Structure formats: structure tokens, C-alpha cells
């Protein structure tokens, strides 16, 4: 097999294996009557999956949060792959973004919305699983914005000439807002 094909097969195996785990997980589930110390993340995931999380998964999430500076996305850490992936069609999502993400997150609906937010490209900036960077970001600082915006053009305009290394988000909200150009 070519490395690429091998990678795809590995990914499929990972997906299928997790769905199998997901099914047997029902049997493992110990129902909680109240999660110790209000855990909003767990509640959010539990609400979405229609059942409460079992103690093993809760411990795993707690360990993940304690061990990592930038914890994994809770539905991923809790192995709730099925809140996003369609178990019948591995590789496909149960619905397109941004609806996929708005199952749990409040919709961004400012007067001016950023292009990739409207078009459902949340994962052009965020990993849905985990990241070395804060907020599950794929890149940090100006590099995140220069994935799509042309650096030469932006940095040459009068309002940007003197920004140096400041992250674009010092002045712009990455999702949108009520001011033109989503200025803070
Ligand atoms: C919050 C939604 C969400 C959850 C939960 C989630 N995924 Fe994903 N996953 C995605 C999206 C969206 C993509 C497509 C990535 C992209 O757009 O770049 C993806 C891509 C993948 C891929 C393709 C390779 C890659 O990393 O891009 C694999 C494999 C995968 N997911 C496995 C899993 C497994 C296993 C779980 C559960 C442990 C899981 N995912 C949980 C949303 C999710
Ligand atoms: C099943 C519920 C669920 C879905 C679906 C979901 N999330 Fe989340 N997400 C959470 C929870 C719970 C948290 C942690 C609590 C919080 O920060 O609000 C979180 C946190 C985040 C964070 C902040 C991480 C941090 O370190 O502060 C980002 C970014 C994020 N999610 C992006 C996404 C994107 C993008 C999608 C769609 C691809 C998505 N989420 C879909 C439940 C979900
Ligand atoms: C252009 C890149 C970009 C896109 C596209 C994007 N985000 Fe973000 N997002 C960011 C950045 C940057 C932050 C961190 C903001 C900060 O720390 O001030 C963030 C933060 C977040 C957070 C943490 C809480 C908050 O609001 O600060 C969540 C949740 C989130 N994004 C979800 C989403 C979802 C859902 C989508 C798609 C509808 C999306 N993002 C699209 C760049 C993006
Ligand atoms: C995934 C691609 C992508 C990324 C990453 C991205 N943008 Fe955008 N951005 C767009 C698109 C598409 C538009 C809408 C097209 C347009 O108006 O030029 C847009 C529009 C804008 C606008 C409004 C422009 C106008 O003329 O109204 C601003 C401001 C902006 N982006 C800032 C940012 C900042 C700041 C970041 C980093 C946090 C960023 N963008 C990252 C794709 C992206
Ligand atoms: C010091 C604050 C500041 C920083 C930092 C900043 N901007 Fe801006 N940006 C502005 C202002 C102010 C405007 C509005 C100019 C106007 O009203 O015409 C603007 C406008 C824009 C526009 C729309 C006009 C155009 O030229 O297309 C885009 C896109 C944009 N900024 C992207 C970025 C990106 C990408 C970064 C990071 C490299 C960034 N900005 C960093 C203040 C800032």
C-alpha cells in the first residue's frame, strides 16, 4: 500500500473501532445522579448524547484536563465521536458546519459575520479534536489569518502598517460582530 492509502485505511479503522466502542459503551455506562462539582462540559456533552457520562469517561476527561495545557475538545475526549461523525457513513458528518458545532455552541450572529463562519469553515481555524494551541486553534497569531488573507496586501494598508507582530485578534473578532470589520 502507498503511505497515503495506508493512512486512509488506518483512519477508517480508527473511526470504525470507535463506533464499536461507542455501542458497547452503553453497557459500561454507570448512570450518575449528579456530576460532582458542576461540570458544564460534561453536562453539555451529556445533554447532546441523551445520557449521562460514565465514571470512566469522566475520569478520563479530568485526567486529560489536568495533564494537558490545552485539553482536547470534550466530546472527542469523552469519545462521543457520534455527535459529529455519522456512524453509518464513516468520514461523513451528521450535518454540515456551522450547524454541527451549533448543536452545543451558541450561534455567532453579529450584524457583520466573518466569511468562514457563515460558510461553515470552523475547522479551517479550529481542530474538532485537539491541538497544541489554545482554543483548539490550528495556528496562532497572524499566521492563522494569513491562511486565507494575503499578508502583503494587508500589511501594506495604513491601518496595518504599524501593527508589528500583534495578533490580528487584538483589533478584530475572529467570528464577527456588530462593528464593520468586526473591530473590537
Ligand atoms: C465536534 C465534532 C467531532 C467529534 C466529537 C469528533 N470528530 Fe472526528 N472529525 C470532525 C470533523 C469536522 C472532521 C473533518 C476535519 C476537517 O474538517 O478538517 C473530522 C475528521 C476526523 C478524521 C479524519 C482525519 C482527521 O483527523 O482529519 C478521523 C480519523 C476522525 N475525525 C476520528 C474521530 C474519532 C475517532 C472521534 C471520537 C474519538 C472523533 N473523530 C470525534 C469532527 C468531530
Ligand atoms: C457535543 C457538544 C459539542 C459539539 C457538537 C461541539 N462542541 Fe466545541 N466544545 C464543547 C464543550 C463541552 C466545550 C468546553 C466548554 C466550553 O468551552 O464551552 C467545547 C469547547 C470548544 C472550544 C474552546 C476550547 C477551549 O480550549 O476553550 C472550541 C474552539 C470549540 N469547542 C469548537 C467547536 C467546533 C469548531 C465544533 C464543530 C466542528 C464544536 N466545537 C462542536 C462541546 C461541543
Ligand atoms: C478565522 C478563524 C476562525 C474561524 C473561522 C472560527 N473561529 Fe472560533 N475562534 C477563533 C479564535 C482566534 C478564537 C480565540 C479567540 C480569543 O481567544 O480571543 C476562537 C475561539 C472560539 C471559541 C472559544 C470561545 C470564544 O468564543 O472565544 C469557540 C467555542 C469557537 N471559537 C467556536 C467556533 C465555531 C463553532 C466556529 C464556526 C461557526 C468558529 N469558531 C470559527 C478563530 C476562528
Ligand atoms: C478560512 C479562510 C479565512 C481565514 C482563516 C480568515 N479569514 Fe477573514 N475572511 C475570509 C473570507 C472568505 C471573508 C469574506 C470575503 C471578503 O469580504 O473579503 C473574510 C473577511 C474578513 C474581514 C472583512 C473584510 C471586508 O472587506 O469586509 C475581516 C476584517 C477579516 N476577514 C479578518 C480576519 C482575521 C482577523 C482573521 C484571523 C483571525 C481572518 N480573517 C482569518 C476568510 C478567512
Ligand atoms: C491595531 C488594530 C488592528 C490590527 C492588529 C489588525 N487590524 Fe485589520 N483593520 C483595522 C482597522 C481599524 C480596519 C478598518 C479600516 C477601515 O475602516 O477602512 C481594519 C481592516 C481590516 C480588513 C478589511 C479591509 C481590508 O484591507 O481588506 C481586513 C481584511 C483586516 N483588517 C485583516 C486584518 C488581519 C489579517 C490582521 C492581522 C495580520 C489585522 N487585520 C490586524 C485594525 C487592525
**29 closest CA partner among 46, 17, 12, 6:** 46
85 lines ligand 1 (CB under 6 A): yes
88: three-class secondary structure by DSSP: coil
The Cα 120–Cα 163 span in angstroms is: 29
3-state secondary structure of 168: helix
Q: Can you give the pTM of this predicted structure?
A: 0.86
Atom from ligand 4 closest to the CA of residue 124: 1
Task: Name which residue sits closest to atom 28 of ligand 4, judged by CA.
Answer: 181
Question: 3-state class of 113 per DSSP?
Answer: strand
Q: What is the pLDDT along the chain (184 residues), one digit of tens a residue?
A: 444 444 444 444 444 434 333 332 322 222 222 222 334 555 555 555 444 456 666 677 777 777 788 989 999 998 899 999 998 987 899 999 999 999 999 999 999 999 999 999 999 999 999 999 999 999 999 999 999 999 999 999 999 999 999 999 999 999 999 999 999 9
Dihedrals φ, ψ of 148, to 5°?
A: -120, -40
DSSP structure class, residue 71: P
Amino acid at each position: 500500500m502507498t503511505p497515503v492509502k495506508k493512512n486512509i485505511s488506518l483512519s477508517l479503522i480508527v473511526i470504525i473501532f470507535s463506533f464499536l466502542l461507542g455501542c458497547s459503551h452503553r453497557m459500561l455506562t454507570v448512570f450518575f445522579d449528579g456530576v460532582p462539582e458542576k461540570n458544564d462540559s460534561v453536562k453539555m456533552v451529556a445533554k447532546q448524547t441523551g445520557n449521562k457520562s460514565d465514571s470512566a469517561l469522566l475520569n478520563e476527561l479530568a485526567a486529560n484536563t489536568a495533564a494537558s495545557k490545552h485539553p482536547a475538545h470534550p466530546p472527542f475526549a469523552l469519545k462521543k465521536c457520534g455527535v459529529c461523525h455519522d456512524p453509518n457513513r464513516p468520514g461523513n458528518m451528521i450535518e454540515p458546519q456551522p450547524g454541527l458545532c451549533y448543536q452545543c455552541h451558541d450561534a455567532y450572529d453579529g450584524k457583520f459575520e466573518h466569511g468562514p463562519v457563515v460558510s461553515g469553515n470552523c475547522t479551517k481555524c479550529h481542530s474538532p479534536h485537539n491541538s497544541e494551541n489554545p482554543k483548539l486553534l490550528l495556528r496562532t497569531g497572524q499566521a492563522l489569518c494569513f491562511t486565507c488573507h494575503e499578508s502583503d496586501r494587508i500589511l501594506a494598508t495604513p491601518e496595518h502598517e504599524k501593527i508589528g507582530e500583534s495578533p490580528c485578534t487584538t483589533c478584530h473578532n475572529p467570528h464577527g460582530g456588530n462593528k464593520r470589520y468586526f473591530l473590537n
